[in-house]
């Protein structure tokens, strides 16, 4: 088969949160930019939340785990060597198609964990290098919340007010005040008032299944329409095999396959990876050559290493009365950062945040929800009635520390439909994480009991919590200890960029999406300022 060739200026691989933000920013600066995405467009109006059987689809064809979902655009991820399983989505919008839209920012200390607390690695940039980009991203995505949190740096007023706390959330807020623990309404990319063509949240609940009204943001309805209107190009159904390089080791473009099996080579002046913390190292490791025998740009052997995932224990409290826990967005209402910063009196380093989440729908409740024990048989209906609508869950997001043996590699024994070797996750819990989990479960349990729960059920470890994929192409000043520099450019290959969560030097203890989008926006500005495009 003849290989088709074309040439572009800047080529972005991946149309998710980072790729969309980067593409929009460059297009807004008048730069010619093309993006390749192996998935397709999703139609918000056909969201599963509009279907009566959405709960059954949530655990099958719309599972966040690609090994369960098995869409044509998904690639295999071997996870038998990881106790946390992958949660990603391939398509225009990436994992924002199946996300909860909880968007707290990193704190300033998160960029200095080595200097402050003697663990992990420092970033070569600070919170303040990203501050203006956080604001840009909040405006484009549409962020609900309440500014003025004394526990975080100042920020502009939110686009719309915070999502309602609900009955259970209000009870927990009262308990937090009595405990004198710091809390604040969560920031989220969910509109609580109409904005343009997007409607306000109706509180239907399962945000991860999509949003037919557009209240819950995803980059296919925020960044991408703007980027395309500015002249950016987006090609879907484009599965990238590898990044190409010349005899001098410079990136020259990518080799990819379309949905018909036609092979393409797109030559580019700049290649930008935005394939998430698994997809990006998978492609770059598969791009080995004579000049780059360990994968393109990988002379440091850091590519794929230092995978960070956020271990998340959950504790569910059961209340005597109906607290309407089925109502409202299911992933957040308020954020508790009482135990976020390092405390040397504790037996672990760094800290965790807690977020209050809603109850589940009838099917998931019947299957046990987050951590309930619902028997099948004679007592099933009685137990179900005691739980449905009467629960609240506190999820504990633990900061994960980087370790070189927690990593992503490639495994040629399994390939995708185009013969590209699979990614393999290697991940074990460190002792620090285990001690943090124990502390977090106790804190969450104490809180729920203080709020009036008659009983609690804990799941100390949620294996399906691999939503936050960070660290596998780490940012740093030292080329021996990192993969990219502070501008997201490969130390070895300056015209190769990585702009997704792979570049994170630390994981913090909050959701990474607004931070990785801020990093991507900044990288686009630096590329333009340095006259490289």
Question: For the segment 258-283, what is each residue's pLDDT rounded down to a tens digit?
Answer: 999 999 999 999 999 999 999 999 99
Nearest to 461 by CA among 357, 305, 309: 309
- Contact of 478 with 201, CB cutoff 8 Å: no
Query: 3-class DSSP state for residue 164?
Result: coil
pLDDT interval class at 464 (50, 70, 90): low
Q: Identify whether 449 is part of a domain.
A: yes
> Phi first, then psi: what are they for 392, rounded to 5°?
-145, 145
CA atoms of 278 and 408, how far apart (whole Å): 6
Bridge partners, residue 464, by sequence = none
**pLDDT > 90? residue 357:** no
**pLDDT > 80? residue 449:** yes
Report the CATH number at residue 521: 3.50.50.60
- pLDDT in the model for residue 50: 66
Nearest to 298 by CA among 426, 472, 501: 472
Kind plus residue range of the DSSP H or E element containing 410: strand 407-415
Which is it for strands 314-318 and 391-398: parallel, antiparallel or unpaired?
antiparallel
∠ CA 345-346-351, rounded to 5°: 120
**pLDDT > 80? residue 201:** yes
- pLDDT in the model for residue 45: 61
- pLDDT in the model for residue 44: 64
- pLDDT in the model for residue 329: 84
- Whole-angstrom Cα Rg for the chain: 22
Name the more confident of 268 and 459: 268
**pLDDT > 80? residue 90:** yes
**What mean pLDDT, rounded, does the chain reach?**
93
Q: Identify whether 165 is part of a domain.
A: yes
- pLDDT in the model for residue 42: 84
- pLDDT in the model for residue 279: 98
Question: For the segment 249-259, what is each residue's pLDDT rounded down to a tens digit?
Answer: 999 999 999 99
- Contact of 281 with 472, CB cutoff 8 Å: yes
**pLDDT > 90? residue 182:** yes
Q: Identify whether 154 is part of a domain.
A: yes
Domain span at residue 185 reads 4-44+55-529
**pLDDT > 70? residue 46:** no
What domain count does the chain have? 1
* Residue spans of alpha helices (H) in 157-235: 166-179, 223-229
Q: Identify whether 49 is part of a domain.
A: no
Q: Identify whether 50 is part of a domain.
A: no
pLDDT interval class at 101 (50, 70, 90): very high
- Measure CA of the first residue to CA of the last residue in the chain; give whole Å: 33
Average pLDDT score over residue span 413-427: 96
Cα torsion for 339, 342, 346, 348, to the nearest 10°?
110
45 by Cβ neighbours in 10 Å (0-12 / 13-18 / 19+) ranks as exposed
- pLDDT in the model for residue 445: 98
What is the percentage of the chain residues whose pLDDT exceeds 90?
80
- Contact of 224 with 39, CB cutoff 8 Å: no
- pLDDT in the model for residue 386: 86
Question: For the segment 102-140, what is each residue's pLDDT rounded down to a tens digit?
Answer: 999 999 999 999 999 999 999 999 999 999 999 999 999
Which is it for strands 183-185 and 496-498: parallel, antiparallel or unpaired?
unpaired
Query: 3-class DSSP state for residue 398?
Result: strand
Cα torsion for 449, 453, 454, 455, to the nearest 10°?
-70
List all residues 6 or more positions away from 291 whose beta carbon is below 8 Å from its beta carbon: 245, 246, 247, 248, 249
Question: For the segment 375-386, what is each residue's pLDDT rounded down to a tens digit?
Answer: 888 888 888 888
**pLDDT > 70? residue 62:** yes
pLDDT interval class at 64 (50, 70, 90): confident
- Contact of 11 with 268, CB cutoff 8 Å: yes
**pLDDT > 90? residue 328:** no
Bridge partners, residue 77, by sequence = 423
Q: Identify whether 187 is part of a domain.
A: yes
**pLDDT > 70? residue 248:** yes
Question: For the segment 140-175, what is each residue's pLDDT rounded down to a tens digit?
Answer: 999 999 999 999 999 999 999 999 999 999 999 999
**pLDDT > 80? residue 56:** no
CA atoms of 285 and 268, how far apart (whole Å): 19
Nearest to 355 by CA among 310, 311, 395: 395
- pLDDT in the model for residue 402: 97
């Amino acid at each position: 088969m003849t290989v088709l060739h074309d040439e572009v200026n800047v080529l972005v691989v991946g149309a998710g949160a980072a790729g969309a933000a980067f593409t929009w920013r460059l297009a807004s600066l008048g730069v010619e930019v093309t993006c390749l995405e192996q998935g397709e467009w999703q139609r918000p109006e056909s969201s599963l939340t509009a279907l009566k059987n959405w709960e059954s689809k949530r655990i099958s064809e719309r599972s966040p785990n690609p090994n369960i979902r098995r869409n044509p655009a998904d690639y295999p991820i071997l996870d038998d060597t990881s106790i946390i399983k992958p949660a990603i989505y391939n398509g225009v919008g990436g994992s924002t198609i199946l996300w909860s839209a909880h968007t707290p920012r990193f704190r300033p200390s998160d960029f200095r964990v080595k200097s402050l607390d003697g663990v992990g690695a420092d970033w070569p940039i600070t919170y303040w290098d990203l501050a203006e980009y956080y604001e840009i991203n909040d405006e484009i995505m549409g962020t609900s919340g309440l500014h003025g949190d004394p526990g975080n740096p100042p920020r502009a007023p939110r686009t719309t007010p915070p999502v309602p706390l609900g009955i259970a959330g209000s009870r927990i807020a009262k308990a937090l005040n009595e405990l004198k623990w710091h809390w604040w309404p969560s920031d989220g990319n969910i509109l609580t008032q109409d904005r343009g063509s997007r409607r306000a949240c109706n509180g239907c609940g399962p945000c991860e299944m999509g949003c037919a009204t557009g209240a819950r943001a995803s980059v296919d309805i925020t960044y991408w329409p703007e980027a395309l209107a500015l002249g950016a190009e987006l090609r879907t159904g484009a599965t990238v095999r590898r990044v190409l390089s010349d005899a001098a080791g410079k990136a020259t473009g990518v080799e990819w396959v379309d949905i018909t099996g036609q092979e393409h080579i797109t030559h580019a002046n700049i290649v930008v990876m935005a394939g998430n913390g698994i997809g990006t190292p998978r492609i770059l490791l598969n791009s080995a050559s004579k000049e780059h025998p360990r994968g393109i740009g990988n002379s440091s052997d850091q590519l794929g290493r230092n995978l960070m995932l956020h271990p998340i224990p959950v504790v569910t409290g059961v209340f005597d009365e109906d607290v309407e826990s089925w109502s409202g967005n299911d992933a957040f209402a308020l954020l508790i950062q009482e135990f976020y910063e390092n405390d040397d009196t504790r037996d672990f380093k760094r800290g965790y945040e807690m977020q209050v989440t809603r109850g589940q729908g009838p099917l998931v409740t019947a299957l046990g929800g987050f951590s309930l024990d619902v028997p099948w048989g004679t007592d099933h209906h009685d137990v179900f009635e005691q739980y449905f609508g009467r629960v609240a869950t506190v999820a504990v997001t633990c900061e994960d520390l980087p370790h070189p043996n927690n990593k992503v590699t490639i495994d040629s024994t399994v390939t995708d439909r185009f013969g590209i070797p699979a990614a393999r996750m290697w991940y074990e819990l460190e002792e620090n994480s285990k001690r943090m989990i124990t502390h977090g479960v106790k804190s969450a349990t104490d809180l729920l009991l203080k709020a009036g729960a008659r009983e609690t059920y804990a799941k100390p470890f949620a294996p399906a919590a691999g939503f936050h994929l960070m660290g596998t192409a780490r940012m740093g000043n030292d080329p021996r200890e990192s993969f990219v520099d502070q501008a997201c450019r490969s130390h070895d290959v300056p015209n190769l960029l990585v702009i997704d969560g792979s570049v994170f030097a630390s994981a913090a203890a909050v959701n990474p999406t607004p931070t990785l989008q801020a990093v991507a926006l900044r990288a686009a500005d630096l590329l333009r300022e340095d006259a490289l495009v």
